[in-house]
C-alpha cells in the first residue's frame, strides 16, 4: 500500500531514567508515569490528524496514515492531503512536546522522521495467543533515516 509513515523517538529518556533511579522503588513508578504522560500527549496529537499507531518500540512509536488508493480519480489530492496532515502533526508534536520538563532536571524531546512510499503491515503469529504486527517497506525506511 502507498502511505505515510512517521517514526517518533523520545530523546532524553536516559536522563529521566537516571533521575528516577535515584528515588529507589518509587522511581520506577514515576518513570512509567512520566513516559505514559509524554506518550499520551503524542497520541492526542496523532489522533487529531488521523494517524494510526502501529507499534510502540521502547520509547518510540511507528505511526501510519490510511493507505492512498491510486484508483480514485482524486488520488493525487488525497496523497497531498495525507502528506500535509502527517507533516502538520509532526510540527504540532514538536511544538507542544519538545524540551518539555517532565521532572526537575529531566527534559524530554521528540525526534520525528516522515517517509512516504509503499509499505506493508504484516501480522505474524496467532499460535498460543501470541501475535505481532510488523511494518516493512520504503516508507518506513525513509521515516527511520529521516528521524536521525
pLDDT of residue 49: 93
Q: What is the mean pLDDT of residues 140-145?
A: 93
Q: Per residue in 9-33, pLDDT tens?
A: 998 888 888 888 888 888 888 888 8
Answer whether 0.75 is exceeded by the pTM.
yes
- Residue 8: pLDDT band by 50, 70, 90 thresholds? very high
> What's the pLDDT at 36?
87
CA dihedral 38, 31, 143, 131 (to 10 degrees): -110
Measured CA to CA, the distance from residue 81 to residue 86 in angstroms comes to 9
pLDDT in the model for residue 84 = 94
Could you tell me the residue range of the domain that residue 128 belongs to? Answer: 2-147
Residue 18: what pLDDT? Answer: 82
Per the structure, the count of domains in the chain is: 1
CATH code, 84: 3.30.70.1230
The CB density around residue 128, as the number of other CB atoms within 10 Å, is: 6
**Angle, to 10 degrees, between the axis of helix 25-48 and the axis of helix 75-97?**
150
Asked if 3 and 119 touch (Cβ cutoff 8 Å), the reply is yes
* C-alpha atoms less than 13 angstroms from C-alpha of 71 in its C-beta half-sphere: 2
How many Å apart are CA 113 and CA 137, to the nearest integer? 15
Beta strand ranges found along the chain (DSSP E): 2-11, 52-57, 60-64, 100-103, 106-118, 120-127, 130-136
pLDDT at 2 over 80: yes
Q: pLDDT tens-digit profile of 62-119?
A: 999 988 777 878 888 888 999 999 999 999 999 998 888 877 777 889 999 999 999 9
Contact of 111 with 11, CB cutoff 8 Å: yes
Q: How far apart are CA 126 and CA 131, in angstroms?
A: 5
Amino acid at each position: 500500500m502507498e502511505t505515510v509513515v512517521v517514526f517518533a523517538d523520545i530523546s532524553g529518556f536516559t536522563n529521566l531514567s537516571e533521575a528516577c533511579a535515584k528515588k529507589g522503588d518509587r522511581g520506577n513508578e514515576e518513570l512509567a508515569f512520566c513516559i505514559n504522560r509524554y506518550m499520551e500527549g503524542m497520541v492526542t496529537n496523532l489522533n487529531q490528524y488521523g494517524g494510526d499507531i502501529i507499534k510502540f518500540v521502547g520509547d518510540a512509536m511507528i505511526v501510519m496514515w490510511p493507505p492512498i488508493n491510486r484508483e480514485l480519480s482524486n488520488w493525487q489530492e488525497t496523497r497531498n492531503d495525507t502528506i500535509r496532515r502527517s507533516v502538520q502533526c509532526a510540527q504540532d508534536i514538536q511544538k507542544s512536546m519538545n524540551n518539555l520538563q517532565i521532572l526537575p532536571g529531566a527534559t524530554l524531546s521528540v525526534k520525528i522522521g516522515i517517509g512516504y512510499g509503499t509499505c506493508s503491515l504484516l501480522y505474524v503469529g496467532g499460535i498460543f495467543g501470541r501475535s505481532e504486527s510488523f511494518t516493512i517497506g520504503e516508507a518506513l525506511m525513509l521515516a527511520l533515516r529521516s528521524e536521525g
